[in-house]
Structure 1
Amino acid sequence: MYVTITRFKVSPDIGEAGLTALFEQSAERYAKVAGLLAKHYYIDEGNEAGGVYLWESRADADALFDEAFAQGILQRFGSRPSVHTMWCPVSLDNVHHSVRLAPQR
């Protein structure tokens, strides 16, 4: 498994309610992305936001985070995202009482 963290500056005129609405609107689209196990949206205390993604494979992550993804973030939020993908050998889900172990790389 792999974890990707995206981060981008948000135009101040969007506001927290506007960001939340945009995130909610995108959830259905992300529910259909191949290999995406989970996505968490976040808003920090400043004017930045992003997502934390859990992937089945690096190839699945790499397939999403292309130039079209960056342009979409730029158009909706006002800046290009930073994208950082890392190996995730173990994932804990306390809500569903499960532990996922990644296959060996």
Structure 2
Amino acid sequence: MIIAMTAFALPKPITREEARTIFLGTAPTYQDVPGLLQKHYVLSEDGATAGGLYLWTSRAAAEAMYTDAWRAFVREKYGTDPTVTWFDSPVMVDNVAQKVLTY
């Protein structure tokens, strides 16, 4: 499994409630994306940085998302450029399903 962490410094801090409203507005964009297992929106405690944690089936599927058009969308929506950091996740503990999964 591939995990991508995106982050961007916001022009001005936002509250959790503001973030929730914004994130709910963009969430449908990520439904039914091929290879995307989960997306977790994140906001730093000080409200100055936002982003997401994405769980992907493959690096290729993830790279298909993070195009120039996606970067332009983030820039227009949040007024800043995103960064993407990649992680390989060979083992996952799923306490809901009561399983340890390997990839």
Q: Does the pair score TM above 0.5?
A: yes
Aligned partner of 1:51 in structure 2 is 52
Deviation at 1:34, TM superposition (A): 0.5
Query: Runs of 5+ in structure 1 lacking a partner?
Result: none
Structure 1 pair 44–14 and aligned structure 2 pair: CA distance change class (3 A): closer
Matches of 2:23 and 2:12, distance apart in 1: 16
Structure 1 pair 12–57 and aligned structure 2 pair: CA distance change class (3 A): same
RMSD of aligned Cα (Å):
1.6
Moved over 4 A (4+): none
Structure 1 pair 97–26 and aligned structure 2 pair: CA distance change class (3 A): farther
Residues 2, 55 of structure 2: 8 Å contact kept: yes
Of all paired residues, the percent bearing the same amino acid is: 35
Deviation at 1:83, TM superposition (A): 0.3
Aligned partner of 2:25 in structure 1 is 25
Query: Runs of 5+ in structure 2 lacking a partner?
Result: none
Structural mapping, 1:1-105, within 5 Å: 1-12=1-12, 14-46=14-46, 47-102=48-103
TM-score for both structures, normalised by structure 2 = 0.88
Give the aligned residue type for 1:31.
Answer: Q
Give the aligned residue type for 2:63.
Answer: D
